[in-house]
Structure 1
Amino acid sequence: MNCVTPHAMTRKIPFRTLLKSLAIGTLLIAIPSWAEERVLLDFNMKTPPPADWAIEGYAFGTHKPTPAERQKQALGTRNQRYVQKGSMTSPAFTIESDYLKIECAGTYHPTKIAVVLMVDGKELRTCSPEPGYGFLGAKLPSPRMFIAPDPAKYFFDVRTLRGKQAVLEIRDQHYDGLFFDVKITATDQGPAKGQAIITKAVNWVEAHFETKIKGDYLLVPVGPLDGTPLQMVTVEIEGEQKLSVNLPLAFGDIDTAGYQAVYDLANYQGRPLKVTYHRFGESGPAKLLTQRHIPGRDVSDKKPAFHVYNRIGMLNDPNGLVYYKDEWHLFHQFNYNVSHLDWKHYVSKDLMHWQERPIALFHDAQGSMHSGSATVDVFNSSGWGSEKRPPLVLAYTASSGNGGWKENDQIQTQCLAYSTDGGRNFIKYEGSPVLGHEQHIIKKRPKDQDARDPKIFWFSPTKGRDANAKDGHWVMVLFEQTGHNIYTSSDIKTWEKTGAINGFHECPELFPLAVDGDSEKVKWVMYGAKGRYHIGSFDGKMFKPETKNQTPMFYGDKCYASQTFNNTEKGADGQPRRIQVTWQGGRFGQISLPLELTLKTTPLGERVCMLPVAEISKLQSKSVELDGLRLDSSSANPLSEHKSGLYDIEIEADMTKAKQVELNIRGNKLVITSQGNGLKLGKMTIPGSKKLFLRIVVDNTSQDIFFGEHGAFYSPRTLPPRANKSLSLSVKGGSVTFSKLRVHQLKPIW
């Protein structure tokens, strides 16, 4: 049962007492008073609210939910309750015990996610799920990250309140939190050693940080994920609210795990800034900063030297890739909140050196900021800017219900944001969502019904992806259920479905490439997150594949959700340069080097090929050329002098007279084998030729390998950092003459 009536109790006899009474032939039935217990509440996500408790809101479910408003039903799943607020309040009862034992699991917040004891309307005792559990209610890091933990145990000391009338409130007033379960027991047995004794209620008071703006960035200290209450931080400039978002703010004696840049202040110098937050009654303030740089990046051999990576928190899918006013903008999925995803922002002038910017899109009432894209509204079709100052537009998925996590209760809608200050700060379009309104009223959706990751671009029937062609319209490719759907629009706000193709999974891409550089022979490429692609045609409304099966773009591990830049300048083939990055290396990994894509005719047919962009030369500090070198099995290592650890290696060689070429790069072997009429590297093969073309870019944490004449195969390999930074090259089973053998040492960007 959920609630046990006052006369119900559990009686326990100490085992030693029972043994003693049996030994003298008498069964003792008198019970010590401290052993009497009465369960007042036993609630978890799988049970409905107690019938005699008063329910407000939807956080704990309802007795009679409205079917048409499925997100308000708060079914027994974490996702729906996670985004709901509400409370359960007990009937009045008389305190007749020394203690109330509280066992609870869920999100930690001392006043918004709390068990509250009230007497005469006053809050006298409070507790929240134990600090040490993250915002999803689970220890971090942990393989049980999304599993409810064992409950925390507290004791309300109520000895001074005996005989008084009281009520208990189970309070969830946090959009970013929930209770997994709560059990409350009245008992006279005191707590065991080390268990928390509660004698008062937490006092949560408003605090302010005010200053005149002198730096470019507002920096907020964030605490450890396993014990920092998630709270609302509001930013005002000259009295105008610019941002209001839940953050794990470090204040008082909460350790600072790092600083998050949350707002770009560059255009507001000298103006008054006010930041509002809360703290515990006697705790000290948060140490907010306004500075001209973002501190805290760990520059060491254990971190990437020239890949984008996070200072703190989790990194995944690249988003919003766009070239705008001589700057390359790169966004990626970012998580330090644990409960929601945001968009982290970097900017570069040369595709190599990246500057971190404040978080561009924070989660909001519509949900997490899931993946999407960016474009320049050149002709100001949206009306948000002007043709002289066109707005930079972000298209993203707002996902409520924490993205689903295989539940059937997520809501995923497509939204827009825009910038009129060069991409420094973004304003969310008040008319969002532009797609997906109906998801809020569907009673229940099948588990495989998803809608996310909008890729938007300008299409011209005469000039393809040329963003400056006036005869065009907007296109959105959206992953839904079993494949990619295509929508079109004239104003980027109102969309109509025009086509669909099955067989793809999330993070859609669609772009033209000229075959072998022939501007008169252009084909379109469509792929999903796993990088498997079709080659075909696109008329602005429908994509028609010409290839029977999807072709893998990548071989190797940890390569996912690749995206390409919009609004790039034209390349030599007359098409906009097609530059791609991908997510490498898991939750705390990195964003790949920018790669230039081409469409080439190879021994395997038409293939998307890739090599590092030419801009990588900007990282070269020293180059050694050994063109024409001949090696056999007895030759000394010609690369022994290289010790920097950061390399761009170029190799061309004829392997008709040798069985193997072996590279040892920082202790990791790479073996190319001559077999049959071709060459083999791992699972990759090049048939019909013994000519070796190899390009390898080496960072502290990765080796990016390009195999084949046109970089037809690419294998990103994420590796643990090693102290060994050496290089070696050897040949087995014959001799090899290297027509090209060049090693460029690279400089770090951080």
Structure 2
Amino acid sequence: MLRLAMGVLLAMAGVSATAEDVLIADFEADTYGDWNVDGDAFTHPVRADRLDITGHRGLRLANSFGGGDASTGSLTSPLFEVTRGHLAFLIGGGRHPGNTGAELLVDGQSVRNATGDNSGQLRWVTWNVEEFRGREARVRLFDRATGDWGHINADHFLLTDAPRFGAGTWRIDEYRRSADYYTEPFRPAYHFTPELNWMNDPNGLVFLDGEYHLFYQFNPHGNSWGHMSWGHAVSPDLVHWTHLPVALHDELGVMIFSGCAVVDERNTSGFGGPGQTPLVAVYTGHGHGRQTQDLAYSLDRGRSWTKYEQNPVLDIGESEFRDPKVFWHEPTGRWVMVVSLAVAKRIQFYGSPDLKTWTLLSEFGPAGIPGKPNWECPDLFELPIEGEPGQSRWVLEADVGAGSIAGGSGGEYFTGVFDGTTFIADSLDSQWVDFGRDFYAPVSWSNVPPQDGRRLWIGWMNNWETCLNPTWPWRSAMSTPREVTLRRIDGALRMCQQPVRELEALRGERISLGAADLDDAARDVGVHGQQLELIVEFEPGSASEVGLRVLKGDGEETTIGWSAAERSVFVDRTRSGIVDFHERFPGRHAGPLPAVDGRVRLRVLVDRSSVEVFGNAGETVVTDLVFPKSTSDRVELYAVGGAAKVVSCDIWPLKSVWRQPAVGSR
């Protein structure tokens, strides 16, 4: 029979658990019982032995093939209380993100989701639901697809403290051999993405022995947030990345939250030996109701890691104390840690001689935008002021989980002075890092060679409010790596960003359109592509708006424009493709950009599911995700409300860096 949350079963043999599992449903009855059926897809639980389905539990399972692949509908559970840290289940059937799958609803909002993989083989998916413990939730199976594999199979939903794994790294070798490798819909061609599963904040950015290291928040076991560990990749040029095994795994109830990595050249930590320079990771350990700062170290260029046996090295008894960024401060001869008291919205500064013992130096904040729920992922670095020899300022960046200029999560920054102990801001009013919705938690690389001289950073290209977007079998990308500079514009210090010069190696043959007049009209430039770089300079003239439309076709377009009335650059993704997976995804996102000598310069990077727009000298950046059809690939220039001139327009197709597996080992 169909058993709901009242049913309790013992943990599966061979799986250790700290508490008994709670079965939500196993679909062994002839009907779906108290589950609500909508549409004609979910008629009744089906017998797996009469279909080509494997990997199920028991005799029957939930299936949406009631009227064939053309049928649609949903199947929703009664309310149940979340009483364990994870929800695990088996899923198979069609791979149609956003159209076939399972989702967890809390307060009517979808907070977790999963889809099939075009297979009759069911596999385990585990969601971390610790944050919802004690609250009521529902599971909903949905089928909105009508074509091939337009159905979903699911079985054996249970609440557990012993996650079931099966959709994660054990499938990686098979995936690397498949024709789908890095060719799925919406898969970026030159942005970094994990091969499989969920990714968020960049961590541990460091340059060592000719390699840029990129660690990142990673779930080895699924395509939504949970089991946070540090994924790892390296690159010789910030463009071509080699995937390495997971560097730091969650274990014993402690997840590996964000942090940094430093090259301990002086071996202050004592982790090194003769001829060995330790690479030390400083990260937040999250578990057991608190957040602490912990260490791990590597003596082989980051290929293997040892967690410090006396962790934590900094524990102030707080549950929201995270994301350390550490650097060596030469004038004071010590390590400095910048770390966030997240809910208190304060940044703390600590000092240490050896990375193991830390002393509080000072605090900064609250400051910046009012009403933010938290502050996290801080970074602090010094930048020279362009055009002012011998002058510099420190930049303090921190991120807000909600309330950003474009809605949802985003980053703000302050300029000021730092003496190794205290940061004093030029103003307590902050400036926005990015005016789009999809640039978060940027951090900069440490140990970049002095002869290079650049400050380089990268950010998570997603937004916590709309992060469950329609990609599979991975979720989230990093932005392009960017060079960060500081310049005075209209008397005020502004942080400017530009894509790193190394990306120019991906350019194909340049297409130059030359000067052209736009008289309240649009002009198709005759270029097709979803992997493009465009540099366009306009003289807006009497036009109220000028710009370009990319990823255009079949009723879809992403508009990148400049408004004369607002003196702003914007991205409008209202008609960009799939926008209905979250009510706040469609929209128009703008940042201030005055014309310079009557001209506006836009540099645009397009990569299948993203646009990054750099206005003028990079003082205004708008980063947005988009999810168009593969056939939406046209480009047009336009003007509205008057006559404008295109001074120049250069377009380059950009090569993919991902089609062949780039995989390293320990």
Which amino acid counterpart does residue 302 of structure 2 have in structure 1?
G
Number of equivalent positions: 499
Gaps of 5+ in 2: 27-60, 62-81, 90-100, 111-127, 135-152, 368-374, 400-409, 469-474, 571-588, 659-666
Per-residue deviation at 1:385? 1.9
1:435-514 correspondence to structure 2 within 5 Å: 435-436=314-315, 439=317, 450-461=320-331, 472-480=333-341, 481-503=344-366, 505-514=375-384
State whether residues 230 and 248 of structure 1, in contact with CA within 8 Å, keep that contact through their aligned partners in structure 2: no
Q: Secondary structure at the match of 1:385?
A: coil
- Inter-CA distance 425–297: structure 2 relative to 1 (3 Å threshold): farther
d(CA) in 1 for partners of 2:551, 2:175: 38
Query: Is 1:423 aligned to 2:330, yes or no?
Result: no
Among 551, 555, 560, the alignment partner of 1:666 is 551
Match among 632, 635, 646 for residue 738 of structure 1: 646
**Cα deviations across residues 91-150 of structure 1 (Å, max 9, x unaligned)?**
xxxxxxxxx99924699645544999xxxxxxxxx996657999613778524369999x
Cα deviation digits, residues 540-575 of structure 1 (max 9, x gap):
111111123011111121322111111112367xx5
Q: Which residue identity is paired with 1:451?
A: F
**Match 2:539 to one of 654, 658, 681:** 654
Unaligned runs of 5+ in 1: 1-99, 117-125, 150-174, 182-223, 233-245, 251-255, 262-288, 402-409, 440-444, 462-470
Closer/same/farther in 2, CA of residues 518 and 543 from structure 1, 3 Å limit: same
Give the match's secondary structure for 2:505. Answer: helix
2-structure distance, mates of 1:178, 1:550: 30
Cα displacement (A) at 1:392: 1.2
1:705-716 equivalences in 2 (<5 Å): 705-707=613-615, 709-716=616-623
Alignment correspondent of 2:385 = 515
Could you tell me which amino acid in structure 2 is paired with residue 137 of structure 1? Answer: L
Amino acid at match of 1:535: T
Deviation at 1:300, TM superposition (A): 3.2
Between the aligned partners of 1:418 and 1:293, the Cα distance in structure 2 is 33
CA 1:484–1:112: 2 relative to 1, 3 Å: same
Distance in 2 (CA, whole Å) between partners of 1:392 and 1:491 is 13
Deviations 1:642-679 (A, max 9, x none): 22221011112322343332311012242534536945
What is the one-letter code of the residue matched to 2:339? L
Among 203, 207, 217, the alignment partner of 1:333 is: 217
2:605 aligns with one of 697, 707, 718: 697
Q: Does 1:633 align with 2:519?
A: yes
Contact map agreement 1:106 1:135 (CA 8 A) in 2 = no
Deviation at 1:382, TM superposition (A): 1.2
Determine the structure 1 residue equivalent to 2:194.
310
- Note closer, same or farther for the CA distance 1:314–1:115 as it changes in structure 2 (3 Å cut): closer
Q: Distance in 1 between matches of 2:103 and 2:16?
A: 25
* Cα deviation code 1:9-55 (max 9, x no counterpart): xxxxxxxxxxxxxxxxxxxxxxxxxxxxxxxxxxxxxxxxxxxxxxx
* Matched ranges for 1:358-397 at <5 A: 358-365=245-252, 367-386=254-273, 388-397=275-284
SS at match of 1:729: strand
Name the counterpart of 1:718.
625
Aligned residue runs from structure 1 range 65-76, under 5 A: none
Deviation string, structure 1 residues 258-283 (Cα, Å, up to 9, x no partner): 6367xxxxxxxxxxxxxxxxxxxxxx
Contact persistence 1:106–1:129 (CA under 8 A): no
Cα distance change, pair 179–535 in 1 and its aligned pair in 2 (3 A)? closer
> How many angstroms does 1:688 deviate by?
6.0
User: What do the CA deviations read for 1:606-643 (whole angstroms, capped 9, x no partner)?
Assistant: 1111011111112112211234x122228873621x22
Contact 2:23 2:158 in 1 (8 A): no
Whole-angstrom distance in 2 between the partners of 1:716 and 1:639:
23
Change (3 A) 1:180 1:377: closer
Q: 1:290 to 1:298 in 2, by over 3 A?
A: closer
**Which is bigger in relative contact order (C-alpha 8 A, separation at least 6)?**
2
Matches within 5 A, 1:667-682: 667=552, 668-670=557-559, 672-673=561-562, 675=564, 678=567, 680-681=569-570
> In structure 2, what is the Cα distance between the partners aligned to 1:559 and 1:644?
23
Contact 2:593–2:620 (Cα < 8 Å) also in 1: no
Q: Distance in 2 between matches of 1:179 and 1:685?
A: 39
Give SS of 1:622's match: coil
Change (3 A) 1:130 1:638: closer
Please state whether the residue corresponding to 2:503 is helix, strand or coil. Answer: helix
How far is 1:577 from its partner?
2.5
Correspondence for 2:450: 570
* TM-score, normalised with respect to structure 2: 0.67
- CA distance 1:472–1:231, change in 2 (3 Å): farther
Matched, 1:544 2:407: no
Question: Which one-letter code corresponds to 1:665 in the other structure?
Answer: V
Is residue 625–residue 743 contact of structure 1 (8 Å, CA) maintained in 2? yes
Are residue 343 (structure 1) and residue 293 (structure 2) matched? no
Aligned mate of 2:313, from 431, 434, 444: 434
SS in 1 for 2:601: strand
Root mean square deviation, CA, Å: 3.9
Q: Is the 8 A contact 2:25 2:157 kept in 1?
A: no
1:744–1:539 Cα change, 3 Å:
same
| 1:337-374 deviation per Cα after TM superposition (whole angstroms, max 9, x unaligned) | 46521111111111011111111110122611111111
Q: Do the aligned partners of 2:234 and 2:242 also contact (CA within 8 Å) in 1?
A: yes
Is 1:571–1:577's contact at 8 Å kept on the other side of the alignment?
Answer: no
Q: Normalising by structure 1, report the TM-score.
A: 0.60
Kindly indicate whether the alpha-carbon contact (under 8 Å) linking 1:657 and 1:736 is maintained by their aligned counterparts in 2.
Answer: yes
Change (3 A) 1:414 1:591: same
CA distance in 1, matches of 2:601, 2:618: 8
In 1: Cα distance, 2:549 partner to 2:268 partner: 54
CA contact (8 A) 1:622 1:746 kept: no
- Structure 2 counterparts to residues 33-182 of structure 1, below 5 A: 103-104=6-7, 109-110=12-13, 112-113=16-17, 136-137=86-87, 141-144=102-105
**Residues 502 and 260 from structure 1, CA distance in 2 versus in 1: closer, same or farther, beyond 3 angstroms?**
farther
SS at match of 2:6: strand
Mapped to 1, the partners of 2:154 and 2:654 lie a distance apart of: 35
Determine the C-alpha separation between the residues in 1 that align with 2:329 and 2:614.
31
Which residue does 1:158 correspond to in 2?
none
Rg larger in 1 or in 2? Answer: 1
For the 8 Å contact 2:23–2:156, the answer to whether it is kept is no
Q: Distance in 1 between matches of 2:655 and 2:5?
A: 56
CA distance in structure 2 between the partners assigned to 1:607 and 1:513 by the alignment? 11
CA distance in 2, matches of 1:258, 1:295: 18
Q: Secondary structure at the match of 2:646?
A: strand
Q: What letter corresponds to residue 749 of structure 1 in structure 2?
A: V
- Conservation of the 8 A alpha-carbon contact between 2:321 and 2:339: yes
* Aligned-residue identity in percent: 27
SS of structure 2 residue aligned to 1:617: helix
Query: Is the deviation greater in 318-327 or in 561-570?
Result: 561-570
